[in-house]
Amino acid sequence: MTGLLFLFAALLAAGLFFLLSDLLKLPTLAAAKALLSAGKPRKKAAKSVEAYLMTCAGKLARFIRMNEYKRSRLENTLKAAGIPMTPELYTAYAIVKGGAIAVLAILCLFLLPLLAPVLMLLAALVYFKEVRKADEQLKAKREQIESELPRFVATIEQSLKSSRDVLAMLEHYKQNAGEAFANELGILTADMRSSSYEAALTRFEARFNSPRISDVTRGLIGVLRGDDGAVYFQMLDHDFKALELQRLRGEALKIPPKIRVYSFVMLMCFLFTWLAVMAISIMKSLGTMF
């Protein structure tokens, strides 16, 4: 009887969904998947569930309102993280993804009541994870770029001895930069060609909100204004190398605890091997005695 009720509820929900989809003129699944895949050229094709969630998020995004400061900050974060969404759509997608799991938790109250609290907790975790995804991606991207800044600053310092063409320096370094930094330099150089150099550098600085990137940007703006940036970048090179050494020491300090764990495992393996050999020898000696 319970199985029939569950089947009836599932068929009723599916019928209502298709009726509402036709009334609200929702795009088809194929269209939604094509739209998601177009925004993710380097990833696999969008899944069906993700396509449905994104469709619902697009409808919900119309009703989300943000103050100007929060929207501007989130918009800059999404652009810097490389997420092709508006702030409203990004927030709506997090709500829909967490809400879908919350709906399953409500349904579980009638079938598996003990599972409902677990699903509610999972819904909250998924929501907060989706909300923080842009900040986490931006943080990882910022760390990749900051790890290259010592080499970038050293290159600028050497280039200033023979040239003061900032755009040429950036384009030259872009050819040997890492993937994340090369993409950002590509955006920066394209922005510099189409607008003011200083304005483009200021926008580049604002995208990451990093003190190190701000120091480099101020130095490049100073060079554009005619300052002698050789001494500034020489001092900046010294400071960045010291910070890089400090970072490497911090990474090195994390290694010994990991090594101790593996060393303990190897010690236990040697110990069990020795005990097994001793046990076999004792068994053989007892066998020859009897």
- 23 pLDDT more than 80: no
Q: Which residues contact 53 (CB under 8 A, 6 or more apart)?
A: 93, 96, 97, 100
Same domain flag for 88 and 177: no
- Element (H or E) spanning 195, and its range? none
| Count of all residues that appear for the chain in the document | 290
Same domain flag for 103 and 199: no
- 27 pLDDT more than 80: no
Pairwise CA distance, residues 230 & 160, whole Å: 6
Same domain flag for 244 and 145: yes
What residue type is 176 in one-letter code? Answer: N
Question: So what's the pLDDT on residue 276?
Answer: 79
Residue 272 lies in a domain: yes
Residue 149 lies in a domain: yes
Tens of pLDDT, residue by residue over 198-241, are 888 988 888 887 888 888 898 899 888 888 778 888 888 888 88
Same domain flag for 87 and 157: no
Question: So what's the pLDDT on residue 106?
Answer: 84
Pairwise CA distance, residues 79 & 72, whole Å: 11
Across the chain, mean pLDDT equals 78
Residue 38 lies in a domain: no
Same domain flag for 109 and 173: no
Same domain flag for 153 and 99: no
Question: So what's the pLDDT on residue 195?
Answer: 84
Residue 130 lies in a domain: no
Of 108, 128, 131, 133, the closest CA to residue 118 belongs to 108
Tens of pLDDT, residue by residue over 81-123, are 888 888 898 999 989 888 888 888 888 777 777 778 888 888 8
Question: So what's the pLDDT on residue 6?
Answer: 54
Domain count, the chain: 3
Question: So what's the pLDDT on residue 35?
Answer: 47
What domain range is 88 assigned to? 47-113
Residue 121 lies in a domain: no
Same domain flag for 149 and 232: yes
- 36 pLDDT more than 60: no
Residue 20 lies in a domain: no
Pairwise CA distance, residues 48 & 34, whole Å: 11
Residue 237 lies in a domain: yes
Output 283 or 201, whichever has higher pLDDT: 201
Question: So what's the pLDDT on residue 288?
Answer: 66
Residue 120 lies in a domain: no
Same domain flag for 163 and 241: yes
Give the pLDDT band of residue 287 (cuts 50, 70, 90): low
Tens of pLDDT, residue by residue over 38-59, are 445 444 444 667 777 888 888 8
Same domain flag for 242 and 279: no
Same domain flag for 72 and 107: yes
Same domain flag for 249 and 259: no
Out of 18-27, 140-149, 267-276, least confident range: 18-27
Same domain flag for 90 and 152: no
